[in-house]
Structures are given as structure tokens and as C-alpha cells.
């Protein structure tokens, strides 16, 4: 199995656990000191969540506003090291109050630590911005 296959397999497992509401399975793919950085693309600016507690806070906030959230990876591209990946995802959800459906593309730049677990995930509402961050020497928002 190549490094690209390995990272894609791990990331698909993490997204599948998240989509199934399996928080334990999701956390299994994350390092304890994971950092989730979300570019909101609006007045909210950038939001940062750290560690398992931060991931739980993010998931709770997401669930407060949305239901039936699905992050479907449609493209996973890793770098030569096998420690960074670009994941383009189709997000489908419904507003908890409005019941209005939403479907959009977004992208994540994912960094894996030495144990193969996700140490950092940068979330972008614009896949082109994510690709630029992935292809740049210093990923960031």
C-alpha cells in the first residue's frame, strides 16, 4: 500500500465515523492535541478548536444549527511525504430550525503526525483557497 493509499484510507475512515455520529471512531483518527482551524469566509473570521474537548465543542455547535450533516470526500490528494492531504468534500445538511437543505463543496487540508493521526485540519469554504494552502510551503489560513 502506498503512502497516498494509506492516508486516503485513514481519512475515509475518519469521515465515515463522523458521518455515522460515531464520535469515538472519529477521535480514534485524531491526535489528542489536534487543532481544527476553520476559515468561515465571512464576518466570523477564523475559528480554532483544540484537542478532543475542542472537537466536541465544534460538533455540538454544528449539531445545534444543523442536522443530517454528511461530509462526503470526493477527492483526496496527498503530498509526497504522505503526511499532508487535500480533501475536497461535498457537504450536505439541513437546517435544524428551518429544515432548509444545503449542499456545497468545501475542502480540508489535513496534517498527520508521526503516529498517522490527524494533528491539524484546516477547513476552507472555498476549495481553491484550500488547494493554494495545500500547495504552498506553509499551510495556513
- pLDDT, residue 4, reads 72
Q: At a CB cut-off of 8 Å and minimum separation 6, what does 110 contact?
A: 7, 11, 84, 85, 86, 87, 118, 120, 121, 122
pLDDT band of 139, cuts 50, 70, 90:
very low
Architecture of the CATH domain 3-135: Roll (3.10)
Is the model's pLDDT at 104 over the cut of 60? yes
- Percentage of the chain exceeding pLDDT 70: 92
Name the H helices within the chain: 3-19, 23-28, 51-65, 127-135
pLDDT band of 1, cuts 50, 70, 90:
low
What pLDDT, in 10s, does the model give residues 8-56? Answer: 988 999 999 999 999 999 999 999 999 999 987 666 679 999 999 999 9
Is the model's pLDDT at 137 over the cut of 60? no
Ramachandran angles phi, psi of 14, nearest 5°:
-65, -45
Is the model's pLDDT at 81 over the cut of 90? no
Q: Which of 26-35, 69-78, 86-95, 132-141 has the lowest mean pLDDT?
A: 132-141
- pLDDT, residue 43, reads 65
Amino acid at each position: 500500500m502506498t503512502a497516498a493509499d494509506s492516508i486516503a484510507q485513514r481519512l475515509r475512515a475518519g469521515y465515515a465515523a463522523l458521518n455515522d455520529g460515531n464520535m469515538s471512531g472519529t477521535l480514534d483518527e485524531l491526535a489528542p492535541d489536534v487543532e481544527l482551524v476553520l476559515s468561515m469566509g465571512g464576518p466570523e473570521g477564523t475559528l480554532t478548536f483544540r484537542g478532543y474537548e475542542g472537537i466536541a465543542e465544534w460538533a455540538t455547535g454544528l449539531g445545534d444549527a444543523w442536522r443530517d450533516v454528511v461530509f462526503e470526500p470526493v477527492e483526496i490528494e496527498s503530498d509526497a511525504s504522505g503526511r499532508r492531504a487535500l480533501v475536497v468534500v461535498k457537504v450536505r445538511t439541513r437546517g435544524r430550525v428551518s429544515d432548509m437543505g444545503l449542499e456545497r463543496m468545501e475542502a480540508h487540508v489535513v496534517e498527520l503526525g508521526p503516529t498517522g493521526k490527524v494533528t491539524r485540519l484546516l477547513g476552507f469554504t472555498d476549495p481553491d483557497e484550500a488547494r493554494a494552502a495545500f500547495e504552498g510551503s506553509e499551510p495556513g489560513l
